Structure 1
Amino acid sequence: MSILSPWQRTAAGANLLSADNQLGVTIFEEITTLANRHGAINLGQGFPDTEGPAAIAEIAKQAISDGLNQYAPGSGSPDLRTAVAEHQARFHGQVLDPDTEVVITTGATEGIAAAVLAFVSSGDEVVTFEPFYDSYGATIALSGGVHRTVPLLAPDFQPDPEQLSSVVSDRTRMIILNNPHNPTGAVFGREVLEHIVALAIKHDALILSDEVYEHLTFGVEHIPVSTLEGAGDRTLTLSSAGKTFSFTGWKVGWATGPAHLVAALRTVKQFLSYSSGPAFQPAVAAALRLPTGFFTGFAADLGARGEILATGLDQAGMTVYRPRGTYFIVADVAPLGFTDAAVLARSMPELIGVAGIPLSVFCHPEGADRTRSLMRFAFCKREDVLIEASRRLSRLSDLVGA
């Protein structure tokens, strides 16, 4: 058996390498290309089709005009690190030292890579929940780690405690938690989080908690795992400005946690991007200081848009699993007579003018079989776009047997 090079391991970890080691493109690139080719409504990739707050964007524009265009400090601007610490105190009751317990990253994606590369050695096991965000698989593979998964099953997409206990062991170096969860839209409750912390303590594992959708929950509370008893000393928490403020292209994220873990992450991070987004950092600092009503209002509006799409998917004949958070909703296309959501996803842009992402691409082979008929749709779009997408989706039932 051939030995894979680091880049091949990375591709394989993100399900981009075929059995004969041929490189493919991400499903997001593939489906977006099809959507663009056929003029389809793209509900596949999770980016908003509206701009973030104009006043925040003006701060970035002014910063560019004022010459804030050279390297930012490697740890991030002092004001943004302070704003992150203030945010954690305001919303989660955490007291952080902005100089030692906060680091600014090039989006949460860089934070994921830096954390995994900082702590995971060849042969170490890393546990994620499945379906999993593809960056987790890619960086675990790049580090030489062994990726273990715990399934999240419909309808509530919560982990089975016994199964989780059977996967986490003394070989586990890190548990990666994505809460609220992409792609399922699940939000893990206190009992689940406490079980994760107990297992991490028992087996001396670190927790990497990706909380980029922390403000986007619908009728349920988001609980940062780092606030639970016993978790603080072993948890790194990631978040970013992209999802909360609809500035996904700015790629401004942050990691918080105890000083010794942040220092390790920062050490690796400085040899990835070193720093980025100097003009965006003061804008994000101002965004983090927006009134609380902005955050609750945005979540309420997003939830209402999600219900528009959920209703449309219901009326189209799918089984719909309404999300508790994130940008995404999962639906089962099996009631329409389709057994493979991946095949359907590749034909939908041309046939009905709507794009979605099959859930199977977020899974290892066994998980892909388990989720074969499930599809993820993004509802971070304008209301009129979602209404039109729902109208087009109603035509799916006409395609069965066509």
Structure 2
Amino acid sequence: MSKLPHISTSMFTVMSKMAAEHNAINLSQGFPNFPVDERLINIVAKLAKENVHQYTPMSGYPPLLSKIVTLVKKSYGRTLQADTELLITAGATQAIFTTILALVKTNDEVLILDPSYDCYEAPVLLCNANPVRVALNDDYTPNWEIIEKACTPKTKMIIINNPHNPTGKILKQSDFESLEILLGKYPDILVLSDEVYEYITFEQKHISAHTRKKLLNRCVMISSFGKSFHVTGWKVGYLVAPEYLMKEIKKVHQFLVFSVNSICQVAISDYLNLVSVDEIGKFYQEKRDYFRRLLKDSRFKLMPCEGTYFQVASYAAISNENDVNFCKNLIVEHGVAAIPISTFYADGKDLKLIRFCFAKDNATLEEAAKRLCAI
């Protein structure tokens, strides 16, 4: 009997498979198609001949842990203890999975704000716990009154994603104030803050949970070098947690992966000497603005994009069909792959919105926009 009976092939896999079959431009999956920074490639090439191919310590390569301490201090003003509050993970998904497996028990409830990334629910179910899906407002802002009503004495965790995939929204100061008030009423609830797009923000920076003193002792923060440095296939991320939670998380981590890819950890550690994370947001803002300009004469209505490398668009002026069928037809008839937003909702809520990934080279964006503007 399946432990995850209702979970089938993901929409990301479906759309990418269709895109390949129909030779469509794939703006569905969230990964770049442009070259990795040559400086990073050179570092890897040099390291390949060095003695960096055996296990690192379970928590991570010590110089990289030290670099992350410096990065978090510079970015958010928070001072971390590398040995007790920091863990290198095999990507953000493993960090999320490990955290939930370590901290959530049978019959606990975990609040997930929809639309939500698809990796949140499965580990909750595998813990024999109950995912409680709470929809954001239609403008993708949280309704804290509804969120609070969803809380019960069984609520163990609330998951926030900021900047938000798939919508590109970022949480406001008032959202964190409301969250902190909620936690004051429910002192046993923990927060899992998925911040993998933390350095991909535009007109204003996102507010990190790292900066909220009331959250620090009850929050696990998730970050991704794969997203930040355009190396998603490396699957290297990290999580930050207070020591009492980290002890439990490390217990699971040591039996799940024990340690993370050694050469990638060393390469990222060396690369952090050369690169500034401040460059990342500027780079993707140019991509966002260019893609939006290319689509300005299309029939799609572009939603605000405050962060991430995703652009949500309404096709309501084009078609009345549901978003899954619209995306399939978009591939077959027009040669562009996107993701239907309904797939991020537990109830399949359909607002006639789809998600494009603009982490692509300009030639790809130009050809995709040409096809989209012809609709």
TM superposition score normalised by structure 1 = 0.89
In the alignment, what sits opposite 1:233?
217
Greater displacement, 307-316 / 80-89: 307-316
How do 1:253-402 and structure 2 match up within 5 A?
253-292=237-276, 295-365=277-347, 368-369=348-349, 371-396=350-375
Structure 2 Cα separation of the partners of residues 286 and 270 of structure 1? 25
Q: Is the 8 A contact 1:358 1:372 kept in 2?
A: no
Q: Is the 8 A contact 1:194 1:228 kept in 2?
A: no
Deviation at 1:287, TM superposition (A): 3.3
Amino acid at match of 1:332: S
In the alignment, what sits opposite 1:138?
122
CA shift digits 1:238-263 (9 cap, x unpaired)? 10111111011111110112111112
TM superposition score normalised by structure 2 = 0.95
Amino acid at match of 1:381: K
In the alignment, what sits opposite 1:99?
83
Secondary structure, aligned partner of 1:96: coil
Unpaired stretches in structure 2, ≥5 consecutive residues: none
Structure 2 Cα separation of the partners of residues 310 and 141 of structure 1? 39
Structure 2 Cα separation of the partners of residues 340 and 312 of structure 1? 25
Structure 1 Cα separation of the partners of residues 58 and 48 of structure 2? 19
Q: Is the 8 A contact 1:242 1:252 kept in 2?
A: yes
1:169 pairs with 152, 162, 167, which one? 152
Structure 2 Cα separation of the partners of residues 169 and 289 of structure 1? 46
In the alignment, what sits opposite 1:21?
none
Q: Is the 8 A contact 1:61 1:279 kept in 2?
A: no
Unpaired stretches in structure 1, ≥5 consecutive residues: 17-23, 397-402
Amino acid at match of 2:362: E
In the alignment, what sits opposite 1:400?
none
Gap change, CA 1:76 and 1:127, over 3 Å in 2: same
Secondary structure, aligned partner of 2:170: coil
Runs of 4+ in structure 1 displaced over 6 angstroms? none
- Provide the aligned C-alpha RMSD in A: 1.6
Q: Is the 8 A contact 1:51 1:247 kept in 2?
A: no
How do 1:70-89 and structure 2 match up within 5 A?
70-89=54-73
Q: Confirm whether residue 51 of structure 1 aligns to residue 45 of structure 2.
A: no
In the alignment, what sits opposite 2:171?
188
Secondary structure, aligned partner of 1:57: helix
CA shift digits 1:57-110 (9 cap, x unpaired)? 222232222132222221111111111111100111010111111111000110
Identity of aligned residues (%): 33
Structure 2 Cα separation of the partners of residues 328 and 211 of structure 1? 15
Structure 1 Cα separation of the partners of residues 342 and 109 of structure 2? 22
CA shift digits 1:214-269 (9 cap, x unpaired)? 00001112211132131110111110111111011111110112111112111111
Q: Confirm whether residue 60 of structure 1 aligns to residue 44 of structure 2.
A: yes
Deviation at 1:291, TM superposition (A): 4.7
Deviation at 1:314, TM superposition (A): 4.2
CA shift digits 1:125-157 (9 cap, x unpaired)? 1012101110001111111121112222343x1
Structure 2 Cα separation of the partners of residues 61 and 202 of structure 1? 53
Q: Confirm whether residue 202 of structure 1 aligns to residue 185 of structure 2.
A: yes
